[in-house]
């Protein structure tokens, strides 16, 4: 199964109040294993950068000034996301900004049925514990020493490791079979991408193919299916 772990950086907390998306980082997992495929982009928000937001991610208005607008890269981003489940930490926040930007482009929003929120998974796995990305990295022994500031791609890379641990660690393939009653497995497997399923097409060899196959068999000396005779 293909999944996308993603994170965003923004100018603030609420797109309805004029805040915009300025960075997105995506990591591709297939069967909970990173494939090495990533998508990363900065966007010009066409507005100033509040000092408190810049202090979090270090992205200044001057740095973003020559970056493409979201609308310029939106189709490239959507092609990468495809119809895969989207995994994020506090996913409602990231979905809100992503769908706001899509609305500005007059495009359909990403359906929330594709959302996997690792905070919800962590709350089930570790009730009462701290649920920040830093806290979960510490819990699972994930090195974050290079994370001096928030960054969408870096945070997505860390979250990918956290997600694998939350959903069974490196033995995920065995655990999904052995422990289907696990509430984490139940939460993750209820996410259903918006795929259109088509009935299988009938497959049968044509007369020419059957004749060619028979002619080929005639050329085989001492075939095993005839006892080698």
Residues with catalytic function: 150
| DSSP β-bridge partners for residue 6 | 26
d(CA 187, CA 90) in angstroms, rounded, equals 15
Phi then psi dihedrals of residue 49, to 5 deg: -110, 115
Q: Which residue has the tokens 């010009």?
A: 44
Q: Which residue has the tokens 């965003």?
A: 8
Alpha helices by DSSP H, listed for the chain, are 51-57, 61-64, 70-81, 91-104, 118-125, 133-139, 152-166, 172-178, 183-189, 207-218
């Amino acid at each position: 199964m293909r999944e996308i772990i993603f994170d965003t950086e923004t100018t603030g907390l609420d797109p309805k109040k004029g805040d915009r998306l300025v960075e997105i980082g995506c990591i591709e997992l297939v069967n909970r294993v990173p494939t090495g495929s990533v998508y990363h982009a900065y966007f010009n928000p066409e507005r100033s950068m509040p000092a408190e937001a810049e202090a979090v991610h270090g992205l200044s208005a001057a740095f973003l000034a020559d970056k493409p607008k979201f609308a310029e890269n939106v189709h490239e981003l959507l092609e990468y996301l495809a119809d895969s489940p989207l995994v994020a930490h506090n996913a409602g926040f990231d979905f809100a900004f992503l769908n706001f930007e899509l609305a500005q482009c007059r495009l359909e929003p990403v359906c929330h049925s594709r959302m996997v929120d690792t905070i919800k998974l962590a709350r089930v796995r570790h009730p009462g514990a701290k649920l920040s990305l830093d806290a979960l990295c510490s819990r699972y022994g994930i090195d974050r020493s290079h994370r001096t500031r928030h960054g969408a791609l870096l945070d997505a890379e860390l979250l990918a490791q956290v997600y694998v641990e939350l959903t069974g660690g490196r033995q995920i393939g065995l655990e999904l079979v052995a422990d289907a009653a696990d509430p984490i497995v139940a939460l993750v497997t209820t996410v259903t991408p918006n795929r259109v399923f088509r009935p299988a097409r009938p497959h049968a060899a044509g007369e020419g193919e059957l004749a060619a196959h028979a002619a080929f068999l005639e050329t085989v000396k001492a075939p095993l299916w005839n006892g080698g005779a």
